[in-house]
Structure 1
Amino acid sequence: MSPAGSPHDHDDPSRAPLAGIRVLDLTSAVVGPYAAKIMADYGADVIKVEAEEGDVIRWIAGPSPGPGMSGKFVHLNRHKRSIALDLKSDAGHEVVTRLIARTDVLLINMRPRPIERLRLDYASLAPQNPRLIHCAMSGFGPGPYRDKPAYDSIIQGGSGLAALNEMYTGVPRYVPYVVADRTVGLMALNAVMMALFQRERTGRGQSVDVPMFENMVSLVLSEHLYGATYDPALTPPGDLRLIDPQARPVQTKDGYVCLTTNTDAQAFRLMEVMGYPDMRNDPRFATKAARAAHSADYFKLRADAMLTRTSAEWLELLEAADIPCMRYNTLDSLMTDPQVLASGLLERVDHPTEGRMWDLQDVTRLSGYAPAPRRPAPTVGQDAEGVLEEAGYDADARARLYDSGAVRRPER
């Protein structure tokens, strides 16, 4: 049975949702490669254009059996082909220009001025390819920050995300997960899909600008403007239920459990299970709005009760009462979580250069397409020969490009 649940093993790649779509991935690190990876997973032909030394994430995201193949890189860049160019050289620019002429989607995450200097902005490229979808994932949109460099941690701190941790724990800190990069990568993917859909109707491409900072600010404020949404403000900003120090996995006698009660029915059942049936008559806890306003008191009573039993005992009681709960996982225990194992998310595969590894399968299912086996992430510039040949360079021209340093020679 295929992952998508269809009665055949794998579909013909030509049936993939994005079959026939060519993507030029001029991005590095996480935000752009993540968006491009998803397109590649669903059949797009993604060519990854790297600098001579390769994407920075090859080198800063942990060890690997071979050089420049960190775990994060191989998870973000499967199904892609790699060519390493010197975009500042005339010959390297000619190569990328030829590739763009036959490209449907260009993904780029440089700052605006370098993009313009390299003549890779939409205004420079649209005349030669009017159907091009040009997606720039910038740190900042138009305004005083427009030309500032940005990484995930910069955006987390500037957007107020790190300040939420200060409200919660007293210490500002980043979420230890590149949440801004991955979130904005999904936003960019959504925007590109809409632009492609519009192109089907109009025949014309367009420029798509996805600023990280403003998008993350919008998400933070949509969660935490709270009563300050209104003018005059009804409360200071900050959702009390989320910034309370007790809004975390709840400690038990021997560990932690994850637990949430949003509805009255769930909260009242929890009161029964905890042995506090009269709580429902307390005006602080009798309604959803009252519990939100007195979340600190509610969480304190919950925390005290949960210390009286083990995690296993609580999970059995909570599940029997149909109260939303789950075991608390560490990074190690995720590898043996029964739901993770049942989903097929983790699969041992053989990488052609890195050997045995865990691949992360796509657990989003499309009934109309069962994806083919994955093409593993490439080494730096691995696919230069094929990419250049498709762009019209014969063997002699390819040799000249390698000799000049405009294109990194693929390793054998």
Structure 2
Amino acid sequence: MRSETSSTPATGPLAGIKVIDMTSVLMGPFASQAIADMGADVIKIEAPKGDLVRQIGPGRHEAMGPVYLNANRNKRSVALDLKQPQGMAALKRLLVDADVLMYNVRPQAMARLGLSYEEVAGINPRIVYAGLFGFDQDGPYAARPAYDDLIQGATTLPHLIAKASGGIPRYVPTAMADRIVGLTGVNAILASLLARHRTGRGDRVDIPMFETMAAFVLGDHLGGLTYEPALDDGGYARQLSPERRPYQTRDGYICALVYTDKQWREFLRAVGREALMDEDPRFASYGSRSRNIDHVYGELARIFLEKTTAEWMTLLEEADVPFMPMHDLLSILDDPQLKATGFFIDTDHPSEGRIRTMRIPVRWRNNPAATVRRHAPRLGEHTREVLMQLGYAPAEVEAMLAAGQAAAAPDIVQD
């Protein structure tokens, strides 16, 4: 257990990179947090009412919910009213020497604010102007709003879940599209920074949700539709098998994947059924198992009922067959791998008290370690600090706050 403070200096491979983060809710903040985790100075620009995601989930104080806390560490929060000239002027001062501007509203909204790529590049031609939004701007959906649920549905995920389960269509119970597209955005931004290093020029980078997720899902499920003429109606049979699920044991569940021929022989030897691969052609090879996947998985389901979860974990480890426990939201906190690697961190947040967070999963051998150096900020926590770094006099800052052109978090009163 260790506590991180906001005074920890920036480390990591992106130390020295300045990012102006105009994103909100989840997709953009998740992406900008990843960049901040790698050492960049990410300045989160919020409206005076704050990012909507602050309101999601239980919390000790208003506007400091858990989804916000887990997507906004390592950032500084500046609250500006961009509808007022003074607020916009402050933002444009920030852009002068920024490396990246990130946003996740529709490009049409950025243009209405006077922040189109052309206008921003006029302020700073070296900037990487990165938009994470719903749809490629060359298509008929260009001006539509988009959310994770809508993109999941449009890229066939609920259909695939219903097909695999025989039930009704459902969304994946996590913001999968937001996070996948967010990480795609991180990749695109880093590539653009590398290109700028070679050319000296910035760029506009569009990261559309629909097209990104369509490529992600259809990489598995385009199947026979890959060919002209089509060989089938699409879909990856193993992933769509109704028997592809955690296996019920005598006293619980376990996740196991008997996949290669070697793993099958070792597994069958361990359960005393060595002859099955030779006697039943449906089990003889990877190809035949794939063509008969429902039968194969059904047989495995029957076998796994014969032992307890603990017995299976011992047997599978000895046979070198891949397995993992089926965790719930409480048991994962005690996973021995996550404990040994220090994945969960207990930290003291100045307003929220003791909270649990997750460390940066990636490790760099030849770069200073990236750290959780800043807590997720309160709304406007760094407004005064950042404005004064821009050259505003303290009296000017206070006048902006009094006029509602900016907002700042109140001082924390310690009990």
User: TM exceeds 0.5?
Assistant: yes
Stretches of structure 2 that go unaligned for 5 or more consecutive residues are 3-7
Q: Which residue of 2 aligns with 1:5?
A: none
What is the alpha-carbon distance in structure 1 between the residues aligned to residue 89 and residue 372 of structure 2? 33
Q: Which residue of 2 aligns with 1:99?
A: 94
Q: Which residue of 1 aligns with 2:15?
A: 19
Matched, 1:260 2:252: no
Q: Among residues 349, 365, 374, which one is paired with 1:367 in the alignment?
A: 365
What are the superposed Cα offsets for residues 323-371 of structure 1, whole Å, 9 maximum, x if unpaired? 1111211111001111111110012111110001112111311112223
Q: Which residue of 1 aligns with 2:142?
A: 146
What are the superposed Cα offsets for residues 51-77 of structure 1, whole Å, 9 maximum, x if unpaired? 1111111102x1111211111211211
What is the alpha-carbon distance in structure 2 between the residues aligned to residue 352 and residue 14 of structure 1? 19
Q: Which residue of 2 aligns with 1:395?
A: 394
What is the alpha-carbon distance in structure 1 between the residues aligned to residue 15 and residue 344 of structure 2? 25
1:14 CA displacement? 6.0
What is the alpha-carbon distance in structure 2 between the residues aligned to residue 167 and residue 245 of structure 1? 8
Q: Among residues 347, 350, 356, which one is paired with 2:348 in the alignment?
A: 350
Conserved? CA contact 1:162–1:174, under 8 Å = yes
After TM superposition, list the pairs within 5 Å mapping 1:70-219 onto structure 2: 70-142=65-137, 143-169=139-165, 170-219=167-216
Stretches of structure 1 that go unaligned for 5 or more consecutive residues are 3-11
Matched, 1:378 2:348: no
Conserved? CA contact 2:11–2:371, under 8 Å = no
1:270 CA displacement? 2.2
What is the alpha-carbon distance in structure 2 between the residues aligned to residue 91 and residue 122 of structure 1? 21
What is the alpha-carbon distance in structure 2 between the residues aligned to residue 322 and residue 39 of structure 1? 37
Corresponding letter in the other structure for 1:146 = A
Compared CA separation, residues 239 and 386, structure 1 to 2 (3 A): same
Please state whether the residue corresponding to 1:78 is helix, strand or coil.
coil
What is the alpha-carbon distance in structure 2 between the residues aligned to residue 233 and residue 288 of structure 1? 23
Quick check: 110-119 or 129-138, which moved more?
A: 110-119
Compared CA separation, residues 324 and 387, structure 1 to 2 (3 A): same
Compared CA separation, residues 16 and 315, structure 1 to 2 (3 A): closer
Matched, 1:241 2:238: yes
Q: Which residue of 2 aligns with 1:8?
A: none
Q: Which residue of 2 aligns with 1:49?
A: 45
Percent pairwise identity: 42
Q: Which residue of 2 aligns with 1:285?
A: 283
Quick check: 348-357 or 372-381, which moved more?
A: 372-381
1:248 CA displacement? 1.0
What are the superposed Cα offsets for residues 354-397 of structure 1, whole Å, 9 maximum, x if unpaired? 00111211131111222345211110011100111122211222
Conserved? CA contact 2:10–2:373, under 8 Å = no
What is the alpha-carbon distance in structure 1 between the residues aligned to residue 389 and residue 9 of structure 2? 19
Q: Among residues 287, 297, 300, which one is paired with 2:298 in the alignment?
A: 300
What is the alpha-carbon distance in structure 1 between the residues aligned to residue 129 and residue 270 of structure 2? 55
What is the alpha-carbon distance in structure 2 between the residues aligned to residue 15 and residue 246 of structure 1? 46
Q: TM-score, normalised by structure 2?
A: 0.94
Please state whether the residue corresponding to 1:27 is helix, strand or coil.
coil
What is the alpha-carbon distance in structure 2 between the residues aligned to residue 150 and residue 193 of structure 1? 24
1:117 CA displacement? 0.2
Corresponding letter in the other structure for 2:310 = A
1:161 CA displacement? 1.4
What is the alpha-carbon distance in structure 2 between the residues aligned to residue 386 and residue 102 of structure 1? 17
Q: Which residue of 2 aligns with 1:7?
A: none
